[in-house]
Amino acid sequence: MPMSTEFTTILLDFDRTDHVATITLNRPDRLNAFDRTMCEEMTAAWRIVKLDAGVHAVVLRAAGDRAFSAGLDIKASYGQPDNVWNHEDPGEALSPKWQKMFKPVICAVQGMCTAGAFYFLNEADVVICSQSATFFDSHVSAGLVCALEPIGLMRRIGLGETLRIALMGNDERVSADTALRIGLVSEIVPPQQLWARAHEIAATIAAKPPSATQGTVKAIWESLDKPYRAALDQGLIYTRLGNPLGKAELDALPPRPAAPPRIR
């Protein structure tokens, strides 16, 4: 049976059979906008799943039908310090990679996804969405500089598409079909199948040796910050460290019949 850990703005559940943890943004009345409490709870949740050896993959999803997340809750003070040089980027708290959590993250998006919500997408490893999903960034329409979320977004969809989303603001929304075409998501499913499909992907990944999957995530993400040759050199080290561990984990698994691969 799934097990649950209590928070106030998110839900954290564990499927011990499938080795999957599920984090659910749980402020549907506020369109799952994040405040300081949610940021602190997300940091704690990433740490919990990072240190839990029984978790091999994570699903990130959101409650309600209207929105995956509306970004930062503008009706609640985030509580930045008076000294501008001590201001914090909320995205660091929301980010699995900032917490050095390299277990694969599958993000399931429904409804509206805007502004700070891109923090969640930017560092997910697999992003899928429902047919109802729309994506946009409202910053410039509110007179705000759109400078943080695009940094991660450019890594997913390139400069041109990122600039269009950032500059069009509230006047254009990216549909699910367009999100698939530009590489923001990798799959579209009917709304009623979204959560089940996200769990299915996570469980499929979690069934593989965790040293192999986590080493893969770590190597690929860290390569983005390095020159080409340096990334290859570090990747070689990771294969030498991780391959013996992954092979030992694979050998310890009970034999199972090979299933035909899914064609995507």
Domain residue ranges of the chain, discontinuous segments joined by +? 10-206, 208-252
What distance in Å separates the CA atoms of residue 199 and residue 195, rounded to the nearest whole number? 6
Burial profile 56-70: b = 16 or more Cβ within 10 angstroms, e = fewer = bbbbbbbbbeebbbb
Give the pLDDT score at 88.
83
This prediction's pTM: 0.93
Examine the pLDDT at 3 and tell me if it is beyond 70.
no
Examine the pLDDT at 72 and tell me if it is beyond 80.
yes
Give long-range contacts, CB 8 A cutoff, 24+ apart: 124-129: 124/60, 125/217, 126/186, 126/201, 127/184, 127/185, 127/186, 128/185, 128/186, 128/187, 128/188, 128/189, 128/194, 128/197, 128/198, 128/201, 129/176, 129/179, 129/185, 129/187, 129/188, 129/189, 129/194
pLDDT in tens, 173-216: 999 999 999 999 999 999 999 999 999 999 999 999 999 999 99
Is the domain 10-206 a CATH 3.90.226.10 member? yes
Band of pLDDT at residue 96, cut at 50, 70 and 90: very high
Token pair listed for 100: 């050095």
CB 119 within 8 A of CB 153: no
- The bridge status of strand 187-189 relative to strand 126-130 is parallel
Give the pLDDT score at 162.
98
- Cα→Cα distances 186→14, 62, 126, 180, 249, Å: 25, 18, 7, 6, 29
Mean pLDDT calculated for residue range 214-227 = 96
Nearest to 43 by CA among 55, 34, 31: 34
Give the pLDDT score at 254.
86
- The bridge status of strand 10-15 relative to strand 20-25 is antiparallel
Band of pLDDT at residue 2, cut at 50, 70 and 90: very low
Give the pLDDT score at 5.
64
Mean pLDDT calculated for residue range 104-128 = 97
Give the pLDDT score at 109.
98
**At which residue do the structure tokens 């429902």 appear?**
130
